[in-house]
Every structure is written in C-alpha cells, then in structure tokens.
Amino acid sequence: MKVVSTPDNLQILHEDNHLIVINKRVGDLVQGDQTGDIPLSDIIKLYLKKKYNKPGEAYLGVVHRLDRPTSGIVVFAKTSKALTRLNESFKNRETKKTYWAVVKDAPPKVEDTLEHFLVRNPKNNTSKAHNKEVSNSKKAKLTYRLFHQLKTYSALEIDLRTGRHHQIRCQLAAVGCPIKGDLKYGADRSNPDGGIHLHARSLTFTHPVTKEILTIVAPTPEDVIWNEISK
C-alpha cells in the first residue's frame, strides 16, 4: 500500500536550526505545481509549526528538487541565510550526489562515464539525449557502476556530474537501460505505486552555517527489489 507523506510521518534524515533533510517518498511533490497537490514543502512547514509551536507560518526554503516518481534525499533550508548559502553551494556543484537506479538491461560496460547533449521538450516534459552538440542542448555528464545483478534487472550506482532535466532517466535510456517503471523513457510497464526505481541515495555537502562536511544516506523504499539490493 502506498504511503502518503504527512507532518506526522516524515522520514527525517537530519534536522538542526538551519536545515532539514528528508527522505522523499515516491509520489511526493517537492514544490507546488499546476496539479494543485499539497507539496512536501508545505507538509514540512506544518511539521515545523507544530513541533516548535510557531504562531505564524514556518519559514522553509526549497534548495533543490527530485522528480515526483523518484525517491530519496531532499534538502530544505529553515532560514534565509541557510537558503542563500545552500543555493550557492548547489549551483556551484560543491556537492556530491549519488543515486541508485534499477534498470532493465545490463549496461554495455560494468562502469563508464556517459556524456550527452540534452534538449528539453517542455510540451511533454521530457529530455532527449544527443551524442553531439545540437541547437539548444546542454551538456550532461554522469558516471555509473554496476554493483548488483538481479535475474532480470541491474542495479547501478550513479555519480551526477551535471544537473540537467531528467538527466539520469534520459541518459540511461539512451544507452538501452531504461529505469524500471519509467514509461516516459522506455520501460515496458509502470510500477504499482506509479514511481520509478531511481533513488537519491547519498549527498555530501558543506553545512551552510557550521561549515561541517555532512554526508547523508537515505534508506531505500520498502519493496522486494530495493530490499534485495540493500542487503
């Protein structure tokens, strides 16, 4: 049964006076959009208001996002100072993001670096990967390694070198390895929960105030495949 995030069941990975890090569930919308669904940012505000007995609305800044069908680490700022500094850190690629993906077919190599030029199509909310630079394209780069082999699926660990729209989904599909459940990029069928098997597994970044180096690891969602990989 799909679990919906509420102020009472948030999967909090780290919280201090300046930031809060959440393990996002499949289906959680990080920030409000045209659907009108309640975003995770509003749910966290309600959690903070209740926890700290705030008379007005709690402050919360969205630092970065994950696609709705994706799970894993999302960082939010609890102060404007933290938001400004975190935004700068993420913009300058001073973070290390590692993802796990379950793909249909094993990639051509056990480990490799993929470079493509992506063109975003806002009409259908997809990106297309090209091997050479084309008009309106942005360079995308990631490295992967195959770390677990299942009967019909392969598990990849991915280090993101650039931050493009649907980058991992698009680049893996381009080399014949669509992510499990990702109909938009070539998967055979959807997952029961409507999500895809892409998980923001770990994030290393500098704390915006204390300057401590933080490494956060997010447990994978509960399902047969993720449980097998996480053993």
What is the residue-wise DSSP string for 143-168?
EEEEEEE-SS-EEEEEEESS--TTHH
Q: Which residue has the tokens 């929960």?
A: 193
Query: What is the rounded (10 degree) CA torsion for 21, 23, 25, 26?
Result: 100
For every one of its 231 residues, what pLDDT tens digit does the chain have, with 9 covering 90 and above? 678 899 999 999 999 999 999 999 999 999 877 777 899 999 999 999 999 898 888 999 999 999 999 999 999 999 999 999 999 999 998 999 999 999 998 898 999 999 999 999 999 999 999 999 999 999 999 999 999 999 889 999 999 999 899 999 999 999 999 999 999 999 999 999 999 999 999 999 999 999 999 999 999 999 999 999 987
Q: How far apart are the C-alpha atoms of 163 and 175, rounded to whole Å?
A: 19
Going through the chain in order, the beta strands assigned E by DSSP cover: 12-15, 19-24, 61-62, 71-77, 96-103, 111-121, 126-130, 138-149, 154-160, 198-206, 213-217
SS3 assignment, position 75: strand
Task: Determine the Cα–Cα distance for residues 194 and 2; give it in Å rounded to an integer.
Answer: 9
Bin 176: left if φ > 0, else alpha if -120 < ψ < 50, else beta.
Answer: left
Residue 164 pLDDT:
92
Q: Is 112 tagged catalytic?
A: no
Give the per-residue pLDDT at 1: 60
Out of 33, 67, 105, 159, which one is annotated catalytic? 67
Q: Which residues contact 35 (CB under 8 A, 6 or more apart)?
A: 29
Domains of the chain, earliest start first: 12-230 (3.30.2350.10)
Q: Which pTM was predicted?
A: 0.94
